[in-house]
Amino acid sequence: MAKKGITVGIVGGTGYTGVELLRLLVQHPQCELRAITSRKEAGMGVAELFPNLRGRIGLKFSDPAKAELAACDLVFFATPNGVAMEQARALLNAGVRIIDVAADFRIKDVALWEQWYGVKHACPELVAEAVYGLPEIHRERIREARLVANPGCYPTAVQLGFLPLVEAGIVDIDRLIADAKSGVSGAGRKAEVHTLLAEASDNFKAYGVTGHRHLPEITQGLSAIAGRAIGLVFVPHLTPMIRGIHATLYARLTSKTDLQALYESRFAQETFVDVMPAGSHPDTRSVRGANSCRIAVHQPRGGDTVVVLSVIDNLVKGASGQAIQNMNIMFGFHESTGLEQLPLLP
């Protein structure tokens, strides 16, 4: 039976994943938000920073040092990378469960993580315990997890898109290509020149072709499914919109299958993955604000290349919505509780 309700804390709620967690938690019937911390904004009302929450949340940002996080059932880390690993041990010891929306516990190979993130890991021993929070793959382990590593935005769209192909073993896994496009909110709520409207609007560009931190995360996930190391070229692009990721995935088919049936069957029981009818082109706005991944699968001109189109809202299924989904699983709530919002169109 579902637990009646839980108390929740958020560490570092002043970014986009933070405000999105707030939007979803405020509308969640079984959560009581106890504390949201911010060193910089301590004392300021949350709704002062995020006026969309006016009238719906009375809470103020609290000093991390004074917040009673240890009394919560669950704490979300909506912090920059490197914060959760410093505080996780103490909270777990206090019996608090954790969902890290940042990247500290995503990569099992600690040396690899340190290489990509450029810092020494503060608690490598917890990395092994952490469960990678992609429910469509790890639902059962999430249920019991104390510590969930919430997936990155690109990794969610790319892994869900490739999943049926890799599981079925019908593509050349040495040469996968993921051409991914993201809205600028993926860069976070940080003062930077390159994501100013005057810079990023009416403009399109690739970035990180040489290497992006989400590459090892995707590779780890798909390799685990394949049973051996996969080869992936991953090219992210910045597109002039606020929310949304569109991943266009390419693979060479090594055997024949009914691709549409394969995808429909794989995700038939998944509330938050929607396989579109054959011939579809999902648009990112069709998932704007919703915890949904829409996927279409194509085999252009009957050739041996499969093209998968996978779209998510990077802040929802790609971050905070998936975190709520993980919370629902961890605490025995219905998986879609608090996640029923319909996308905004237009």
Q: Quick one: which segment of 69-77, 148-156, 194-202, 261-269 binds a copy of itself (CB under 8 A)? A: 194-202
Calpha distance 296→234 (Å, rounded): 19
Nearest approach, Cβ of 121 to a copy of itself (angstroms)? 23
Torsion sign over Cα 24, 27, 29, 31: positive
Does 298 help bind a copy of itself (rule: CB under 8 A)? yes
Calpha distance 222→239 (Å, rounded): 26
Nearest approach, Cβ of 274 to a copy of itself (angstroms)? 6
Largest CA distance in the chain: 62
**Residue from the set 93, 198, 228, 256 that interacts with a copy of itself by CB under 8 A:** 198
Calpha distance 306→165 (Å, rounded): 9
Calpha distance 49→43 (Å, rounded): 11
Contacts with a copy of itself by CB under 8 A: the residue count is 85
Contacts of 51 (CB under 8 A, 6+ apart): none
Does 346 help bind a copy of itself (rule: CB under 8 A)? yes
The side-by-side arrangement of strands in the sheet containing 293-298 is 205-206, 232-238, 176-182, 245-252, 305-312, 293-298, 273-275
Does 336 help bind a copy of itself (rule: CB under 8 A)? no
Nearer to a copy of itself, 3 or 115 (CB): 115
Residue 71 DSSP label = G
For a copy of itself, the binding residues in 260-279 under the rule CB under 8 A are 274, 276, 279
**Residue from the set 35, 53, 153, 173 that interacts with a copy of itself by CB under 8 A:** 53
How many Cβ atoms are within 10 Å of 225's Cβ, its own excluded?
17
Residue by residue, DSSP assigns 128-177 as HHPEE--HHHHHHHHHH-SEEEPPPHHHHHHHHHHHHHHHHT-B-TTSEE
**Residue from the set 5, 7, 27, 264 that interacts with a copy of itself by CB under 8 A:** 27
**Residue from the set 99, 309, 323, 327 that interacts with a copy of itself by CB under 8 A:** 309
Does 29 help bind a copy of itself (rule: CB under 8 A)? no
Determine if residue 41 is left, alpha or beta; phi over 0 gives left, psi from -120 to 50 gives alpha, anything else beta: alpha
Does 60 help bind a copy of itself (rule: CB under 8 A)? no
Nearer to a copy of itself, 104 or 313 (CB): 313
For a copy of itself, the binding residues in 64-123 under the rule CB under 8 A are none
Structural tokens at position 296: 């279409």
Site track 224-243 with a copy of itself (rule: CB under 8 A), x = hit: -------x-xxx-x-xxxxx
153 is catalytic: yes
Nearer to a copy of itself, 59 or 241 (CB): 241
Calpha distance 340→335 (Å, rounded): 10
Nearest approach, Cβ of 109 to a copy of itself (angstroms)? 16
Nearer to a copy of itself, 18 or 135 (CB): 18
For a copy of itself, the binding residues in 120-179 under the rule CB under 8 A are 175, 177, 179
Nearer to a copy of itself, 140 or 304 (CB): 304
Positions marked catalytic: 153
